[in-house]
Amino acid sequence: MSIETVVVHPLVLLSVVDHYNRIDKVSSQRRVVGILLGSRRKGVLDVSNSFAVPFDEDEKDSDVYFLDHDYLECMYAMFKKVKREGEDCRMVSHRPEAPL
Protein backbone atom coordinates (compact mmCIF):
# COMPACT_ATOMS: atom_id res chain seq x y z
CA MET A 1 0.00 0.00 0.00
CA SER A 2 1.42 3.37 -0.95
CA ILE A 3 1.30 6.47 1.22
CA GLU A 4 -0.68 9.31 -0.32
CA THR A 5 -0.88 11.69 2.65
CA VAL A 6 1.40 12.42 5.60
CA VAL A 7 -0.02 14.08 8.71
CA VAL A 8 2.57 15.40 11.18
CA HIS A 9 1.21 16.49 14.55
CA PRO A 10 2.45 19.83 15.97
CA LEU A 11 4.14 18.09 18.93
CA VAL A 12 6.42 16.24 16.50
CA LEU A 13 7.42 19.44 14.69
CA LEU A 14 8.09 21.20 17.98
CA SER A 15 10.20 18.29 19.27
CA VAL A 16 12.33 18.08 16.11
CA VAL A 17 13.01 21.82 15.94
CA ASP A 18 13.69 22.02 19.68
CA HIS A 19 16.19 19.16 19.53
CA TYR A 20 17.94 20.64 16.49
CA ASN A 21 18.24 24.05 18.19
CA ARG A 22 19.58 22.53 21.41
CA ILE A 23 22.22 20.47 19.58
CA ASP A 24 23.22 23.50 17.49
CA LYS A 25 24.04 25.47 20.67
CA VAL A 26 26.10 22.83 22.50
CA SER A 27 27.73 20.76 19.76
CA SER A 28 29.57 21.05 16.47
CA GLN A 29 27.30 18.35 14.99
CA ARG A 30 25.14 19.60 12.16
CA ARG A 31 22.79 16.66 12.08
CA VAL A 32 20.13 15.24 14.35
CA VAL A 33 18.70 11.73 14.35
CA GLY A 34 15.34 10.75 15.70
CA ILE A 35 12.50 8.26 15.62
CA LEU A 36 9.04 9.08 14.33
CA LEU A 37 6.12 7.17 15.81
CA GLY A 38 2.69 6.89 14.31
CA SER A 39 0.31 4.78 12.30
CA ARG A 40 -0.37 4.00 8.65
CA ARG A 41 -3.91 3.34 7.49
CA LYS A 42 -5.53 3.53 4.06
CA GLY A 43 -2.74 5.55 2.46
CA VAL A 44 -2.38 8.02 5.35
CA LEU A 45 0.76 8.14 7.48
CA ASP A 46 -0.13 9.80 10.79
CA VAL A 47 3.03 10.85 12.71
CA SER A 48 1.92 11.48 16.28
CA ASN A 49 5.10 11.38 18.38
CA SER A 50 8.89 11.35 18.17
CA PHE A 51 12.09 11.19 20.18
CA ALA A 52 15.72 12.12 19.54
CA VAL A 53 18.48 9.51 19.50
CA PRO A 54 22.00 10.36 20.72
CA PHE A 55 24.77 9.54 18.27
CA ASP A 56 28.41 10.25 17.39
CA GLU A 57 29.87 10.97 13.98
CA ASP A 58 33.06 9.37 12.72
CA GLU A 59 35.80 12.04 12.84
CA LYS A 60 37.21 10.97 9.46
CA ASP A 61 33.95 10.40 7.57
CA SER A 62 30.87 12.44 8.48
CA ASP A 63 28.70 10.03 6.47
CA VAL A 64 29.36 7.41 9.16
CA TYR A 65 27.66 7.78 12.52
CA PHE A 66 27.04 5.57 15.51
CA LEU A 67 23.66 5.44 17.25
CA ASP A 68 23.27 4.82 20.96
CA HIS A 69 21.44 1.51 20.54
CA ASP A 70 20.86 0.99 24.27
CA TYR A 71 19.04 4.32 24.49
CA LEU A 72 17.11 3.57 21.29
CA GLU A 73 15.97 0.16 22.54
CA CYS A 74 15.01 1.54 25.96
CA MET A 75 12.96 4.41 24.51
CA TYR A 76 11.32 2.17 21.91
CA ALA A 77 10.36 -0.34 24.62
CA MET A 78 8.88 2.47 26.73
CA PHE A 79 6.83 3.83 23.81
CA LYS A 80 5.78 0.30 22.85
CA LYS A 81 4.24 -0.17 26.31
CA VAL A 82 1.91 2.78 25.78
CA LYS A 83 1.50 2.70 21.99
CA ARG A 84 -1.83 2.77 20.32
CA GLU A 85 -2.90 -0.07 18.09
CA GLY A 86 -1.28 0.14 14.66
CA GLU A 87 1.57 2.46 15.64
CA ASP A 88 4.77 1.90 13.76
CA CYS A 89 8.35 3.10 14.06
CA ARG A 90 10.48 4.77 11.33
CA MET A 91 13.89 6.45 11.49
CA VAL A 92 14.67 9.81 9.89
CA SER A 93 17.84 11.84 9.66
CA HIS A 94 18.43 15.44 8.71
CA ARG A 95 21.62 15.80 6.68
CA PRO A 96 23.49 19.15 6.70
CA GLU A 97 23.11 19.64 2.95
CA ALA A 98 19.39 18.81 2.91
CA PRO A 99 16.83 21.57 3.48
CA LEU A 100 15.06 21.36 6.83
Tell me the per-residue pLDDT of 42-96, one tens digit each, with 9 for 90 and over.
888 888 888 888 887 777 887 777 888 888 888 878 877 776 665 555 545 555 5
For 33-56, what is each residue's pLDDT tens digit?
888 888 778 888 888 888 888 887
Question: What's this model's pTM, rounded to 2 decimal places?
Answer: 0.69
DSSP assignment letter at 43: T
For residue 5, the surrounding DSSP H or E stretch is: strand 5-8
